[in-house]
Chains A and B, each alone.
Chain A
C-alpha cells in the first residue's frame, strides 16, 4: 500500500506562482491543495474612490498576460453602468484587440509552456535548430507570436496594457499601411498554425473525467458579447452570471474558488470549443473539416488543441475583417455620470471573466467585484489531480506522478496573477 505526501514547491512554465500539496494514504488521495501563492495586490479594494474613466487602465494591471482582456471587460462594465452604446467600428476594433491577444497568448502557452512536455525537453529554447522538425517548430512559434503581437500593437497600441481602447471608443485608429502589413503577416503564419494544430491533434497525453463546462457564446465565435451557456444547456444572461456562482474560500490559497449549482466546472478554450464550434469562421471550419468532430470533448488535454484552433479562427476572422472593413477616426462617446451598477462579462483567453462596478453620481467608483477564469477552474483542477493520482499511484513512483500532475495543470493554462489579487467582497444588495 502506498502512503506519501507530495509537494510541488513552485510550478514552472505557468503564468504566476502556485504550489501543490497532495496527501495519499493506502492508495487513496486524502487531500489535494492547489495553492495560488501570488501575493494579493488588492485591486478590488484599490478601485474604490477611483474615477470611472481611470478604472480600466488600473484593472489591466491585474495581469500581464491577459491585461487586454481585463481592460476590455472593465470598459464593458463601465459602459454598461452608464448606458453607453458602442459603435459598430468600436466593436470590431475590440474584437481585433481580442484576436491579437488570443494569438500571442495561446501561442506562448502552447509553444513555450506545453510543447517541451510533448518533445521531452526541459525548455522550449532547448529545441535543436539543426533538427529539421524542431527547427520548424522554433521558427513557427516566434513568427505566430510576432504576428499576434503586431496585430495587437496596430489596433490597441500595445500587446500588454494597451493604450488605445478606452471608455467610449478608441483613442487611435489603424492606418492602411499597418492593416496591409498585418494581413500579410497573419496570412504568412497560417501554415504554421496548421502544423501546430496537427501537433496537438496527435499529442499523446489524455485525461478524461466527466465535468461541466461554461462559456459566453456569441453569435459569431468570439470573446466579447453573447449569452453564457453551460454544458447542461442552461442559458444565463451576462448580468445574471454572478448569481449562478457560489464562492468557495480555500484557506490555503490566495485566490477565491467557485462552483456552479453545487458542482465544479471548467471554463476556457475547451469549454468554448465544446459549446460554440459551429460558430467558428467559415474558412477555419472548411480547413479543419471532420477534425472538429473531436469536440465536444471532456479530455482536458484537448484544451490545448482548442487553443490552437482558436489561433486559426482569430487569424481567419482578423484577415476577413481587416480586408473588408474601413476604419475611420471616430470621436469618443462622452459619459454622462449617474449612480449605477454595471457588469461586463467576456471570454478571456483562459475563460469567462466577470467585472462588476458600482459607480456614484460623481463618476467615482464605490466598489466592485472581479471573478477570473482560474478561480473558476481551481476546484475542477483539484478534482482532476485527485483522480489522476489515484489512477497512477500503483503504476509509477512519486517523481513521475509529480510530472504527470504538472502536465495536467499546464493543460489548463492557469493564470495565477489573475487569480490571487482579490479581496472577498460582501456585495451589498441595493
Chain B
C-alpha cells in the first residue's frame, strides 16, 4: 500500500434494516463530489461500491438502517469497536422508523407475523442504532438531507485532517 493511501480517511458504509434510500442519496451526492472523495477517502468497507471489503480499522463508519437481529447487534458492536467516529444516517438508524413499524403493531397483527420473525430469528423489538452503541453524529431525514450530510462529512474531514 502506498503512503498516500495510508493517509486517506478510512470510510465504512453499513446498511442494516431499511430501504437503502440514504445509500442512493449518497451515490447522488457523489455526482458532484467524486473527484474530491477519490482523493481523500479510502472506501474500505462499502458493499454497494466494491467487492473486496475490509473491516479492520475505520476512521468514520456511517450506519444506515435499524437493528433487527442479534447478528445485527454483534456486527454493529464490532463496527463501533473498530471505528473512531460513528455516524447514524437517516430515520431508520436514528429513530428506528419506518423499519421498526412492527414495534407498533396491534396484538393481532403481531400474531400474524410471529412465525416469520421466529423463522428468521428477528429481535422481539426493532432497535435504533443508539440503543446499541454510542453515536457521534447524526444525519436525519427520510431520506437524509444531502446538505446536512455534507456538513457532517466536512466537519469530520476537518477533524481528521488537523
Contacts and interface: CB of A to CB of B under 8 A. Distances in A.
A108 B25 CA distance: 11
Q: Which 4 A-B pairs have the closest CB atoms?
A: A64-B21, A123-B50, A39-B68, A146-B31
A417 B143 CA distance: 15
B49 A125 contact: yes
Contacts of B105: 42, 45-46
Contacts of A190: none
B84 interface: no
Contacts of B120: 39-40, 254
A64 B120 CA distance: 23
Given A40-B117, A160-B25, 16 more contacts: A16-B15, A38-B17, A39-B122, A40-B113, A40-B122, A43-B101, A45-B113, A61-B142, A64-B143, A112-B27, A116-B50, A123-B49, A125-B38, A143-B31, A160-B21, A160-B24
Interface in B94-148: 98-99, 101-102, 105, 109, 112-113, 116-117, 119-120, 122, 142-143
B119 A251 contact: yes
Contacts of B153: none
A161 B102 CA distance: 21
Contacts of B72: 39
B83 interface: no
A62 B19 contact: yes
B27 A145 contact: yes
29 contacts: A12-B50, A12-B51, A13-B47, A16-B15, A40-B117, A40-B120, A41-B17, A41-B101, A42-B102, A45-B102, A58-B98, A61-B142, A64-B21, A64-B22, A64-B23, A65-B20, A65-B21, A122-B50, A122-B51, A123-B43, A123-B50, A123-B51, A125-B49, A125-B50, A145-B27, A149-B28, A160-B21, A406-B51, A423-B116
Nearest to A145: B31
A159 interface: yes
Nearest to B122: A39
Interface residues of B, number: 47
Interface string B12-54: 0001111111111101101110110110000100111111110
A45 B109 CA distance: 7
Given A12-B51, A39-B69, A40-B116, A63 B19 contact: yes
Nearest to A123: B50
A274 interface: no
Contact of A46 (B28, B43, B52, B98): B98
Interface of B: 15-25, 27-28, 30-32, 34-35, 37-38, 43, 46-53, 68-69, 72, 98-99, 101-102, 105, 109, 112-113, 116-117, 119-120, 122, 142-143
Contacts of B112: 45, 423
A24 interface: no
A16 B20 contact: yes
Contacts of B35: 129
A142 B30 contact: yes
Interface in A129-164: 129, 138, 142-143, 145-146, 149, 158-161
A17 interface: yes
Nearest to B144: A160
B59 to A, nearest CB: 17
Nearest to A48: B109
A160 B113 contact: no
B48 A112 contact: yes
A241 interface: no
A254 B28 CA distance: 29
Interface in A336-381: none
A160 B28 CA distance: 10
A42 B101 contact: yes
Given A17-B15, A45-B113, A61-B98, A122 B23 contact: no
A281 B68 CA distance: 45
A259 B29 CA distance: 39
A423 B113 CA distance: 7
A12 to B, nearest CB: 4
Interface string A289-329: 00000000000000000000000000000000000000000
A106 interface: no
A116 B72 CA distance: 29
A163 B47 CA distance: 29
A372 to B, nearest CB: 12
A251 B143 CA distance: 32
A149 B143 CA distance: 14
A404 interface: no
B157 to A, nearest CB: 17
A277 to B, nearest CB: 28
